[in-house]
Amino acid sequence: MHTQPFTPGQRITLFVAEGFGFGRTRFAPGTFGSLPGLAMMWGLQVLDATPLHCLALWLLCFLCGIPICQQAAVLRGKHDPGSVVWDEITAFPLLAAIAKPGWQGLLLAFVLFRIFDISKPWPVNRLEKIPGGSGIMADDQAAGVWAGLVLWVTQKWLI
């Protein structure tokens, strides 16, 4: 557990890792912390981003997120602190690359992601056991893939 006052760099790391403050809520930090991801997904819709653009953004966020989440976990003194939500945010460009939900599907994408993130079906439950920032990031990306696949199937067959 970090006991010294945080340096400006550590404060910036925590600010990003904790979803620009959204992950600091006492109630449902993962759900509130996912809201910037939903906003990012909406922005990708506004920009009419292709799946390749979404994947490029996801890869950048994912690779940056590994050390960010690792450092935040060290600073907070826990393996995967609830306030660290960069991993949730990062899953949304991946979800957008798999299924472009349209305006009406944004809420469904959000709900599906939260269901898979909370319930942690296979392999999500296995990936969260990977040590360090990679494990913090990996399980939420898998939840994003599950949500994206369900959304894609829903779009193809029901909408």
Angle value at C-alpha 25, between 75 and 106, nearest 5 degrees = 110
pLDDT band at 49 (very low <50, low <70, confident <90, very high): very high
The pLDDT value given to residue 47:
95
Using the predicted structure, report yes or no on whether residue 103 has a pLDDT greater than 90: no
Using the predicted structure, report yes or no on whether residue 104 has a pLDDT greater than 80: no
Q: How far apart are CA 97 and CA 126, in angstroms?
A: 23
Threshold 0.75, pTM exceeds: yes
Give the mean pLDDT of the chain: 94
Radius of gyration of the chain (CA): 15
